Amino acid sequence: MIRKIIHIDEEKCNGCGICAQACHEGAIDIVNGKAKLVRENFCDGFGDCLPGCPTGAITFEEREAPAYDEAAVKAAQTQKAIDKLNNINVKAPAAGGCPGSQFMNLRKEESSGQPVYNEKPISRLGQWPCQIKLLPTQAPFYEGAKLLIAADCSAFAYANMHEEFMKGRITLIGCPKLDAVDYSEKLTEIIANNNIKEVCIVRMEVPCCGGLQKAAEIALKNSGKFIPWQVVTISRDGRILE
């Protein structure tokens, strides 16, 4: 039968195992360091595995595939639970990926007024991960979000980064020089496929940071959306230049 089912791009897959953990039906295994859809009849086509993929390796496709077998899935889940109770080793995602890349929504209730400086500072990081290359292109924390696209050096150079820029925003950080990658394609997907309210770009004054700004500007243009945005430049001694 022709139906919607997931497709895993092995070239993009980093073998982190997040999708295998997210798939409650057990359709995905890690084989030779890569995620594989090994039980097509276990895939319900709902895509619980999709939002957690940090590399965007999982998409939907419509093709010839066996029908979803709910009875077989429930039987496998029951057996897995029995094995766990009996202390039988249940197959875990293979090593080689990064369990720390699993996405988390860290949004906290925002306190009103100015920060109290004689108390312990509060982290304003709204989600995990925050590296552009690890972030999924779709996730719940993007809904209605204000994005901060920041050079990773900026938080070290600018002392009040959390309160002035990260507070109330979803933070995406990167360094185009060290990562040696064009972020524009991934940023385009994030902006185009989610309800983003505004974008703030924070870069350093050094020339290589221009790559981050350019990627963000290309993404805004290619997304086809009209979203308010601004660029803030930080000097190496921690001052706002523009």
188-224 tens-digit pLDDT: 999 999 999 999 999 999 998 999 999 999 999 999 9
Give the helix/strand (H/E) hosting 29.
strand 28-31
Q: Please compute the mean of the pLDDT values over residues 38-56 and round it to a whole number.
A: 87
Residue 143 three-state SS: coil
The predicted model scores a pTM of: 0.60
Using the CB atoms, write b or e for 199-231: b if 16+ within 10 Å.
Answer: bbbbbbbeeebebbbbbbbbbbeebeeeeebee
**HSE (side-chain half, CA atoms, 13 Å) at 165:** 25
pLDDT band at 138 (very low <50, low <70, confident <90, very high): confident
Asked if 204 and 234 count as a contact pair (C-beta separation under 8 A), the reply is yes
Instruction: Say which DSSP state 207 is in.
Output: G
Longest dimension (CA), the chain: 65
Confidence (pLDDT) at 101: 59
Q: Is pLDDT above 80 for 119?
A: no
Give the helix/strand (H/E) hosting 163.
none
Q: Please compute the mean of the pLDDT values over residues 163-174 and round it to a whole number.
A: 96
Q: Please compute the mean of the pLDDT values over residues 88-99 and round it to a whole number.
A: 47
Confidence (pLDDT) at 148: 98
Q: Would you say how long the chain is, in residues?
A: 242
Q: Is pLDDT above 70 for 60?
A: yes
